[in-house]
Structures are given as structure tokens and as C-alpha cells.
Amino acid sequence: MDCLFCKIINREIPADIVHEDDEILAFNDIDPKAPTHMLVIPKKHIATLNDIEEGDLSLVGRLQYAAARLARDQGFADDGYRVVMNCNEDGGQTVYHIHMHLMGGRRFTWPAG
């Protein structure tokens, strides 16, 4: 499958991996928008948030749980952080394999741009 993140999962493309378990991979974003900017992804290929099915609900929960644990491990859980999932063109999605941006280490503004 011609998917960048599936290639990272399969080790066809290198990445700075920070967490891996049977269902989830997390790695540093190549173009960080914060002092810490990781992408937390399911190993299962799901193209967009619109493609999540009922059978994926626990996986999506695990994604969020992994992000929160990584935030704690990075030391910014209490100060706060930003989690973002972009969907399709208007949402700013550029890689069509769902991913949670976990950003921390600075103060974020709201609303997002």
C-alpha cells in the first residue's frame, strides 16, 4: 500500500520512534511545530477520521491513552499540551492514515488557525 505511515510502521522508511506496542506506533514529527511534536498512529491503516468503524473504538481510545501517557513521560502533562487530528482537506490533513498530533513544551493559542 502506498501509504507513508504504513511504510514507517513496516520500517521501509526511517522514523524516530518513541513508542510501539501491538496496535500503536508513536514517532517524532519530521517538521515539529512545538518543542515536542509526536505523531501517534494506529498500526491499522485507517485513511481518515471518517473511516473509523465501530470495531475501531477501542483502538481510538488506546490512541488517546497512548498520547496522554507520552505527555506524562515527556513531563508536560500537568502544564498542558495540544492534541490534534486533522480530517480531509479543510482540516489540513496531508497524510491519509489517521494520526494524533501530540504537541507540548510551549503555550498554544486558541482558536487554532
Closest CA to 98 of 50, 54, 58, 61: 50
Residues 56-95 that bind Zn ion (CB under 5 A): none
The SS3 assignment for 107 reads: coil
Instruction: Specify whether 99 is catalytic.
Output: yes
Q: How far is the CB of 5 from ligand 5GP (least distance, A)?
A: 8
Residue tagged active-site, from 45, 97, 99, 101: 99
**Do the beta carbons of residue 35 and residue 91 sit within 8 Å?**
no
Q: How far is the CB of 36 from ligand 5GP (least distance, A)?
A: 13
Instruction: Please name the helix (run of DSSP H) or strand (run of DSSP E) that holds residue 74, with its range, or none.
Output: helix 57-74
The SS3 assignment for 12 reads: coil
Q: How far is the CB of 75 from ligand 5GP (least distance, A)?
A: 21
* Residue 45 contacts which entry, ligand 5GP, Zn ion, none (Cβ below 5-8 A, type-dependent): Zn ion
Residues known to be catalytic: 99
